[in-house]
Structure 1
């Protein structure tokens, strides 16, 4: 059978590359990716979640930082390259990091159907959550899938106002009339940063989401996105309850 890279559903088990991005620099929490949370480096939580997935083909760490490379190796992660410094600046987006990894493997003749990006800043993924997300992504035939959490109704875009050029308020959705009843609001979600899955061909086209974007809801009880020292304290509190 001819292996067609463009269609993920052609064959039973698509090849999935998991990329764990971990820069050395960090403003909110210094050296946070390898700072110890509950007795192990923050990176360990995401490494373990990725390595226990049954649907991921290969798990790699992408970093420019030599110390993080070493920590990653001790956690069992493959570290095939040292990420170029120009992809490790504060303003460097994840898309460039993922495109770099895909290009690296394709130059070596290794092709993946999709990429799953697992951010170190979301340490508490439920067991099996990554495989649930990958299964939904594969069966939905979507271009991409992201993990989300529901937006509290008071922040629903239909109830949010923006200022216009005259500094008056207008409904963010552009509607003239506000939806009065909470029950009539459409469900709204925000990206929680825990899981991004995208077809490789869509990544190459310069997009994380493509045309058809699917989603999976995270468990809000397990949710923390570590950006600040306050978030770090929250994560330490959550560990006591897990």
Structure 2
């Protein structure tokens, strides 16, 4: 059995009620639920939440909410791996034989069934713990600068000051959309970032982290242009 798990607690502070806030006409969690269902990869699409309103909305959108997450896994200190392990443990107690699991973030309106399918093909055909979405940095990270306590500028890696951009190794970052993994990897809290992981590369235009109101506004503007 393959399952999707969407962590969606109710206590978002920087953007209140973020997981069900309206994004271009529907709750933002709808985009992740719809992509999961349309991908055809999952036997069950489960939302892990502590919030009854999120649970009701998620059910109406076609997901299951077979349990409410306990308070100790719904505060600011609970990790994604904690939440995933709890959900997988619940499935095992129901005698569900879970082989592959996909963590889908609830605030990922650019998520695509196509890339979920690509990730599923990789995780089931090769010996990886995880396959997750990633994208490239828009600027060479070797040229990154910092502002000191005195307000002056320093390079993090000054040894690359005179290197041509095309000679620098391209760098990538987690796109924050989905994480395919084996049930065993999630249960044992294995690291996402290791030689046992592989990335599904997304175009940068489909990636926008949403943590602040400014992020939200940028995502809405980008979505309008793309869609």
Give me the TM-score of the superposition, normalised by structure 2. 0.88
Shift of 1:127: 4.0
Q: Is 1:138 equivalent to 2:124 in the alignment? A: yes
Number of the residue aligned with 1:82: 68
Shift of 1:160: 4.4
Question: Is the 1:143–1:211 contact (alpha carbons within 8 Å) kept by the matching residues of 2?
Answer: no
Number of the residue aligned with 2:89: 103
Task: Identify the match of residue 193 of structure 1 among 176, 193, 211.
Answer: 176
Shift of 1:117: 0.5
Between 208-217 and 184-193, the greater mean CA deviation after superposition: 208-217
Across the aligned residues of Structure 1 and Structure 2, the Cα RMSD in angstroms comes to 2.2
Mapping for residues 1-242 of structure 1, pairs under 5 Å? 15-156=1-142, 159-160=143-144, 177-178=159-160, 180-209=163-192, 211-241=195-225, 242=227
Unaligned runs of 5+ in 1: 1-14, 164-168
Deviations 1:9-62 (A, max 9, x none): xxxxxx321001101011121101111111111111111001111222211000
Shift of 1:208: 4.1
Query: Do the aligned partners of residues 36 and 177 (structure 1) sit closer, same or farther apart at CA in structure 2, a change above 3 Å counting?
Result: closer
Between 121-130 and 49-58, the greater mean CA deviation after superposition: 121-130
Question: Is the 1:140–1:214 contact (alpha carbons within 8 Å) kept by the matching residues of 2?
Answer: no
Between 50-59 and 136-145, the greater mean CA deviation after superposition: 136-145
Q: Distance in 1 between matches of 2:136 and 2:195?
A: 21
Q: Distance in 1 between matches of 2:196 and 2:167?
A: 25
Question: Is the 1:121–1:227 contact (alpha carbons within 8 Å) kept by the matching residues of 2?
Answer: no
Q: Distance in 1 between matches of 2:102 and 2:169?
A: 28
Query: Do the aligned partners of residues 211 and 240 (structure 1) sit closer, same or farther apart at CA in structure 2, a change above 3 Å counting?
Result: closer
Q: Distance in 2 between matches of 1:170 and 1:29?
A: 33
SS at match of 1:52: helix
Question: Is the 1:116–1:196 contact (alpha carbons within 8 Å) kept by the matching residues of 2?
Answer: yes
Number of residues of Structure 1 aligned to a counterpart in Structure 2: 219
Shift of 1:215: 0.3
Unaligned runs of 5+ in 2: 148-153
Q: Distance in 2 between matches of 1:39 and 1:95?
A: 31
